[in-house]
Structure 1
Amino acid sequence: MTRPSSHAHWSKELLGVQSAIATTSGDIDQVMDLIVEGALRVIPHAGGALVEMRDANEGEYRAGSGMAAPFIGLRESFAGTLFEQCVLTGRPQYCPDTQDDPHVDAAACRAVGIAAILLAPIAYEGAVIGALKLYGPRTAAFDEQDLLIAQLLAGLITTGLARMERRDAHSQLDRMATRFKATFDQAAVGIAHVAPDGDFLLVNDRFCGIVGHSREALIHGGFQQITHADDLDSDLDNVHRLVTGEIVSYVMEKRYVRADRQIVWVNLTVSLVRDALGVPEFFVAVIEDITRRKTAEERALHDPLTGLPNRRWLTEHFGSLFGAMPGESVIAYLDLDGFKAVNDRFGHAEGDRCLSDVATCLERVLRDRDSICRIAGDEFVILMPDTDHETALQLISAFRDAVRTLCRERPWKIGISTGAVAIDAQQFASLEDVLEAADRQMYRAKKEPGIAPIICNIRDVLAGRQGGHGPGPLRSEPARV
């Protein structure tokens, strides 16, 4: 488009604005007024100029000229606006057509005759705190030269901020500190500032209450010391990714260990504050106590009577437990023999005690890496990762012995029938296939009392299906005790 002003013209006008600002003694409101008034002289094809400053999540219109003058003093949320984009990115924003931009209120612009908008960020002490806005009465009103001029004018506001009187600066900093302190101290969530080495710099009362440690103890330690050992590696990995710039923030659910050794679950959100040179300065960590939700989730995955994991837990964890297991593993299906008689003779309350006692005695036999689930009334599944046939048979025999010993101390007599299936990573099967095969083995053992446990291989089961044999007798390896 044809330029309405020459380089000499706008340079002269810009120098005039600078000279006028030099006489203000740092009065920032007067500086802003001079900027918006001078902007229309430097860029005469602009219909209005406005200074919008950020205050929390709102924008305040501090100075305006031309068609923007009536907006002075207004405040509004800047969520989803061009101003938000300017603040978040630190870059200029340009809307050549206000009727075709999702970040602009088309109806409001149409009502006041604003057809184009140009924003130049106002930076101060490493942060974008506002923007100089230029309004055009027609679409595509601004070009790259206008952008350069707008940035120069915005820079004059930054200069004016830097030259504010010390008294006014201290007053503003005091107000900001008061707001920060109120937000920090009265927040409903835990907030902490953490040094790059993991030491706590600041923590609010809510943070101390959630993690169960005093402020003094936290300041003299680091987040590593209160993080649950099972969560530390993933937390440190996220910190590394944050410091290297791979991510800008992260969210994770983790556990802290309170001073009384109780475990608290939190939802943790972490971001990194860098200095003007991009060097990590401190982390901002925000935590919410989710222990109640995690407890409810845990209850949903566990049998309320025995406390054992239930079928839902087995379904959710089966793949992760065995999918990447390099060696052979064994899954055993256990069914109690004579349990119905316990209910019939002694009542359901005693039947419940029977199930709970059996679960406890089976758990005592398990190794650390094994798991046991109650998946139905008197049916249990035992998971034995990285276990060969011989070891699995020894464990199954130990289960039987443990139940026999238990029965000597109880008024009822029960036994267990067991079916077992071996799986490996080379021939990994679904949980449904494994349970079906183990269940059929278990019923075979129940029909033939006294038969020694037999472990079938899931590869034989699947091969039998592919060969068209269907659900016929399982091919088993004669591993017996």
Structure 2
Amino acid sequence: MSEADPESGLTLGLVQALHGLDGERWFRQMADGLPLIVWTARADGAVDYFNWRWWDFIGARPGIPDERGWQDVLHPDDLPPTLARWQQALATGESYAMEYRFRRAADQTYRWHLGRAEPLRQADGQILKWLGTCTDIDDQKRAAESLAGVQQRLQEQVLERTMLIERVNTHLLAEVQKGEYLLRQLQSHTDNLARIIATQTRLAEAELDLDLFLNLVVQQMQELTPASGAAVELVEGEEMVYRAASGSVAPFVGVRLAIGSSLSGLCVRSAAVLMSADTEQDPRVDLAACRKIGVASMVVAPLLLAGKAVGVLKIMASQANAFSATDVQTLQLMAGLLGSELGHQVDFENNQRLLAERTEEVAKRMASEAVLRANVERTQRIIESSHEAFVCVNEQSEITDWNSEASRIFGWERGEVIGRPLTSVIIPERLGNAHHEGMARFIRTGQGPVINRRVELPALRKDGSELIVEITISTSGSGAEREFSAFMRDVTERKRTEQEVLLNQQLLRSVTDAIPAVVAFIDMREVLRYCNKPFLQTFGKIEAQCLGHSLLELLGADEYAFIQPHVAQALAGQQTSFERALKVQGNERYLEVRYVPERDIGGEVRGFYLILWDITERWALEQQFRLRALRDSLTGLLNRAAIMETLERAIAEHGPGSCDLALLYLDVDHFKEINDNLGHAVGDEVLKIFAARLQRSVRTSDVVARLGGDEFVILLQHLSSAELACEVAAKVIEAMVEPLQIRQHSLAVSTSIGVAMLDAQTPCPETLLEKADQALYQAKQAGRNRFSLSS
């Protein structure tokens, strides 16, 4: 393992996989799910955690690790070198891997383990913790001693570990998706707040004209949310009227809907925000009207005037489940602003009726003052209702405005701060000189490094504690009336979370590097975006040689041509796996490969994970077992199990009722007498020579097998007649005429043969074999050294 680099090529999914989770708790839950012993130690080497697999191995209940606990169960011969290697690691800060034996409580036997230890470092290079794993390798160590029984145990271990790793991978994928979702939600919320503030400013600058205001609102709602259209509906008698609309519903301005049959009407009656995630499944909506204007989902918020709903602000989309909680919050905020504006519009219209009775000059002046006053009040309402702290100071850095959010964040009430220097309220003492110099420089030059930019700065609360604020400063006016306005947001928790994510990112890489499998992530353009340490070790690469390169570049044309169908399947959203022999760093290895699609929050495939296991040893054992299982150990011919499998495939290939397949059943005449008189050693030599002569008597496409004892069969395929099968039988009998020279003996050996042809009455291998056996019996009865064709 190597020290995790926070600026490495981790994909966005892995970087944010643990966002918002407690790192220690998450790690222990993850470690308890791994199929190997996991431990951690403090920087000074004191072990402070074992996972459940350790306690299960030593036969104890989980508890606080004892410094001598692991040493007591270590084999006496392994204790000195293990302690020496551990002390060397503590002295040098280097990772290590070595083998040693632990005593298992269940049977008091010592089992071999491959132990690894890796330092986890902080950003400044200091060791934070040691992470270690112990992988049980006892079965591999003892495989040579128990070859006959290792296959079943190995298969069970591989299956168990594969299932465990799959569960770990499934959990990792779920955590990655959760982290990405939370990050996107946070980013979306941040972007929306900035856009809402900009929208509020724009609305505050608009003239006091209701239609203009309504059109601005629906246009901005379409921009601030994923809506395909937005509308304002006002109550007129028993109907709801589209007063303003944008996007896909813009042509429907003036459309009227009955209050009683629409979601908008229900919103007016309940004065509550309502959402229809899928209009096709929602009995509250006017389905015919929704289909008419192409709406599949919608959210409506009431427009309140003096506590009474007089209309709704509605956003709509052409697809179901289109809106998030952030979109609903945006809708509520804009509906509140619009409801307030409606109230001001009513007041404005009343004033207009009164002013109409006066002179035109007075009417114009009063209208102008009303517009100005409304704009000022609207701006103040926007600032006061903002989710960001608003602070305004003059050229002397004296506070002139302070909203309720500023009171909440900094702890000062508005009356306590108005007129006081900003440096005495929220600016830390160490930054006071820099603040005054910056103000003087701007007044002198008209330029400042933080003006109209989003920056992060430390600030001070009333209780003396510090926080981090994200601040945007703008200026207005000139001369003595110049003011500096600042919108601020408390990002202390976000900064703390970022630090936790950074530490968890290091822990995540350490865990994935400790997993005994190759892991990589490939994006939709088939470009490698992440790989763990086993990947680099397996292929002998460094990250710079891998990350950012396509599969074609990394594998070459021939290997890419083989995996391309599997890659296409994974990018289409289907999990796929295969086994493949591959030359890795000059060595032929047999690999098990799995492609697992990665989807974003919307369900769209964004790439796939490659998970690879080296199963060369297991595959070699399986081939050995298969070869032994299918071959007769004495003659080297196929055995009974192999010939029955071959015969079943042949019958299936030729089809029922076919007559171009024959089976010859034969044995050695008087073989029992040879065994009884000359011994089994001579008998075995007879069988070997007999088998060799059989193979020389048939075509290379024919199959010869030993059923057991002195019984053999020959499978003949693609015959044009039964006569050809009889000719082969005669040729075999002729091949046995020459005496067998075995040691000092010259033996005359003959054979009897039963010939059976495949037909409609022999639908299975057993029936055909029985038919040939009956024909052999007939040949024996007829005097041996001959063949008989089954009728």
| TM-score of the pair, normalised by structure 1 | 0.49
| TM-score of the pair, normalised by structure 2 | 0.32
